[in-house]
Amino acid sequence: VPAFEGTPSFESHKVFTGVVASTDDVTGTLDVRVGTVLGSVKLADYKRYNPQNLPPSQFAEVGARVRVSLLAPVPNVPAQIGNATTAPVTKVPLRLELGPESAMVVLDVRTRQVLALTGNYEAASGGLDRATQSRRQPGSTFKPIVYSYALHARRYTPATLVDVQPTVFAGNYKPGNYEGWTGTDPLRLREVLASSVNIGAVRVLEDVGPANVVDWAKALGITSTLKPDLSLALGSYEVHPIELVSAYATFAAGGMYEEPRIVTRIVGPDGKDVELKAPPPPRRVLDPAEAYVTTSLLQSVIDHGTGAKAKSLGRPIAGKTGTSNDSKDTWFSGYSTEIASVVWVGYDDNKPLGAGETGGSSALPAWIQLMKAAHENKPRAEFPRPPGVVTIAIDPKSGKRAASEEGSLDEVFLEGTEPTETAEPAATDSKDDAGSTAAPDATTNGGGDP
């Protein structure tokens, strides 16, 4: 990557490619020139990039290119920055941007109190809180919002067959499935979500209406701007991590939305509590049965899908992986009965993380570790099943009621949406025919669930 030329604006933590101008082993600093600006990096603040504690002269040679951004808050920044007509300015503090950043939010499902939050990797990251201030493309972590609306609208059930054949949608929109996924047979909605099949998600969104899903997302706490087009299904519009995990916490809480609470108490200089503005009251978005079936779908992501690594937690978990185009953003958002959390990993300047990086490989391992810590000494708890949910044995190929127990799967439905047609007996006469995803709290009857 060529070095930046000109005068950098350093707006919004923008990342630039600079050139190492000099090193100082006594002060432990690298001087880096970014166009007309000469900056300084305190290497000790970036042990992540320097695990061997090399002195600056051995860490980077003069002339080496490095990625940097302005370290903020910055006292007495020369006014010349941003004015391309001025002469070179004095040194400004810079931060290294050699590796990806991360953000994480942990919410108490019951109170919506923020239990933990970090918006950056290092303490020297300049005050940018990526958990609440940065907007990034959520990728497939947005799909549960689409599917929960499809359930709510009674347009789909977990057993509804979805066409996943590649096609050109309205507006010449031609999405693809993740590289390596080649299936073309219709899949049940549960399978489409568990395997994160993009074309299936777009078909569902097209059917239920993008504008309806935009309104639904707002009801779930997504305040960032969303546009009602088909790319919405694949998480093309940027959101804050805290918004996304708020939506997931709503599923975990049986359909009740409540704003996250970061500040719960303020004590004044006199030692007395400062009265806080009362938060808006909780409001119902989904009924408990809709939230339960949504959670059941998301459990399949863990049990049989892209989030399978999370089975190591040894407790009921629901969640979804997410990866934006070119692996520029990777996510995992999920929840237990008590805690909802999200992890995002990526670069501030949208640099790709690398070939093959996904939410399952980059974000999920960190999510698992934080959920292990959050659930330490907590008993294992099942998601409570509310009234209004029924379990029906289905034929896994057609999604219809099973003609016999052999090869069938148990599936959960909102009461009144269960299939009324019965499959032909031949559709379930082989044990191998059952090779599909069953509801997590149900059983596979006479067949093998992969």
CATH code of the domain covering residue 293: 3.40.710.10
Q: 166 in a domain, yes or no?
A: yes
Q: Which residues pair with 65 in a beta bridge?
A: 19
Considering the domain boundaries, does residue 381 fall inside one? no
Look over the chain and give the mean of its residue pLDDT values, rounded to a whole number.
88
* pLDDT, mean of residues 113-118: 94
What tokens does 281 get?
């009251």
How far apart are alpha carbons 139 and 321 in whole angstroms?
Answer: 8
pLDDT reported for residue 190: 98
What whole-number distance in Å separates Cα of residue 194 and Cα of residue 44? 43
- Shared domain check, 364 and 293: yes
Residue 404 placed within a domain: yes
Q: Indicate if 338 and 323 belong to the same structural domain.
A: yes
Residue 274 DSSP class: P
Structure confidence at residue 128 (pLDDT): 74
Q: How far is CA 205 from the centre of its chain?
A: 19
Residue 277 pLDDT: 87
Structure tokens at 49: 């990039």
Task: State whether 111 and 141 are in the same domain.
Answer: yes
Is it the case that residue 234 has pLDDT exceeding 50? Answer: yes
- Segment 52-77 shows an average pLDDT of 82
How many residues does the structure list for the chain? 450
Could you tell me which residue, 239 or 121, shows the higher pLDDT? Answer: 239
Is 450 inside a domain boundary? no
Lowest mean pLDDT among 125-139, 289-303, 334-348: 125-139
Which residues partner with 332 through β-bridges? 321, 343
Structure confidence at residue 181 (pLDDT): 65
pLDDT band at 80; cut points 50, 70, 90:
very low
Query: Quick one: pLDDT at residue 76?
Result: 46
pLDDT (average), residues 156-181: 90
Q: How many domains does the structure of the chain reveal?
A: 3
First vs last C-alpha separation in the chain? 45
- Per-residue pLDDT band at 231 (split at 50, 70, 90): very high
Q: Is residue 157 located within the same domain as residue 124?
A: yes
**What dihedral do alpha carbons 305, 414, 288, 226 form, nearest 10°?**
60
Look at residue 346 and give its three-state secondary structure. strand
> Which of 26-40, 139-153, 176-190 tops mean pLDDT?
139-153
Residue 136, pLDDT above cutoff 70:
yes
The answer to whether 333 and 449 are in contact (CB under 8 A) is no
Nearest to 125 by CA among 99, 95, 104: 95
**155 inside domain:** yes
Alpha-carbon separation of residue 432 from 208, 284, 310, 402, 440 (angstroms): 33, 42, 26, 15, 19
pLDDT tens per residue across span 174-186: 998 875 567 779 9
Among 41, 76, 96, give the residue marking a domain's end.
Answer: 96
Residues 364 and 304 in one domain: yes
Same domain, 91 and 140: no
Shared domain for 29 and 84, answered yes or no, is yes
How far is Cα 133 from Cα 105, in angstroms, rounded to an integer?
A: 12
Enclosing domain of residue 22: 11-96
Residue 13 binned pLDDT confidence (cut-offs 50, 70, 90): low
Residue 293 in this model has a pLDDT that exceeds 80: yes
- pLDDT given for residue 90 in this prediction: 62
Q: Is 244 in contact with 342 (CB distance < 8 Å)?
A: yes
Residue 2 is assigned to a structural domain of this protein: no
What mean pLDDT is predicted for residues 225-253?
Answer: 98
**3-state class (DSSP) for residue 247:** helix
What pLDDT does 375 receive? Answer: 96
Nearest in space to 315 (alpha carbons), one of 369, 366, 373, 382: 382
Query: So what's the pLDDT on residue 379?
Result: 94
Single out the residue in 96, 121, 143 at which a domain terminates: 96
pLDDT at 203 over 80: yes
Domain assignment present for residue 226? The answer is yes
Nearest to 330 by CA among 313, 314, 354, 311: 354
For residues 72 and 112, state if they share a domain. Answer: no
State mean pLDDT over 57-65.
Answer: 94
Alpha helices by DSSP H, listed for 8-162, are 56-59, 143-152
pLDDT in tens, 412-433: 999 999 999 999 986 444 433 3
Residues 54 and 164 in one domain: no
| Residue 442 clears pLDDT 70, i.e. is over it | no
The enclosing domain of 26 has a CATH number of: 2.40.50.140
β strands within 265-336, DSSP E: 283-284, 318-323, 329-335
pLDDT digits (tens, 9 = 90+) for 378-399: 999 999 999 999 999 999 999 9
Residue 3 lies in a domain: no
pLDDT at 179: 59
Which has more pLDDT, 333 or 353?
Answer: 333
Do 151 and 172 lie in one domain? The reply is: yes
Report residue 30 as tokens.
């690298």
| Chosen domain end from 68, 96, 124 | 96
Say whether both 282 and 398 belong to one domain: no
Of the chain, the percentage scoring pLDDT greater than 90 comes to 67
Asked if residue 83 and residue 53 are part of one domain, the reply reads yes
Which pLDDT score, from 0 to 100, does residue 72 have?
58
pLDDT the model gives residue 95: 84
